[in-house]
Amino acid sequence: MKTRLLVALMGILLCTGCLAAWSQSLRGSKRTEAEYYIAEYGQHYQVPPELVRAFIQRESDWRPCAISQKGAVGLMQLMPLTAKRLGVRDRCDIKQNISGGVRYLAWLCHLFRGDYRLVVAAYYAGEEIVGRRGLAYRNPDVINYVQGIRKIYLQQPSAETNSQTEAPQ
């Protein structure tokens, strides 16, 4: 009985160590990998890298396998149905998550004609409700989220000087 308990406790400790590693923010080569995909997919889909970084910072704090209470996973916190729609099979995979998140942002940019306020609100609350209500959608959580993304976006040096890119409002 004591042996089983000891083995179970060791398993819990090992799993806790694994979870701690997954919950840490990206550093070193993994952060470089993420930045590479942000630049590549951002350029390809015409989504400002500063906007992608703002989402990653706000959504996951750069943790590649962060899991929200609502079931969103990864750097860009993709929900299961959104990930499936975008062909993302492993939401913890840096490349797949950023690819899916950037493609979703590009689609939202097209849907909302480049109005980053609506794009950011739809990323958080869903495109259906924001599409129906537009700027009349005044949920305090959504307003705070949009303001938070805008603040992070503007804190990035290139976002302030890039005349082709407007900040989300």
Which residues in the chain show pLDDT less than 50? 2-23, 160-168
pLDDT of residue 27: 74
Domain boundaries, the chain: 26-161
Calculate ∠ Cα 159-83-104, nearest 5°: 35
Known catalytic residues are 59
Q: Which CATH number fits domain 26-161: 3.20.20.70, 3.40.50.450, 1.10.530.10, 2.60.40.10?
A: 1.10.530.10
CB atoms within 10 A of CB 131: 14
- pLDDT tens digits, one per residue of 96-133: 999 999 999 999 999 999 999 999 999 999 999 999 99
Q: Report the SS3 class of residue 73.
A: strand
Can you name the residues that pair with 78 across neighbouring β-strands? Answer: 73
Task: Identify the CA nearest to 19 among candidates 81, 85, 63.
Answer: 63
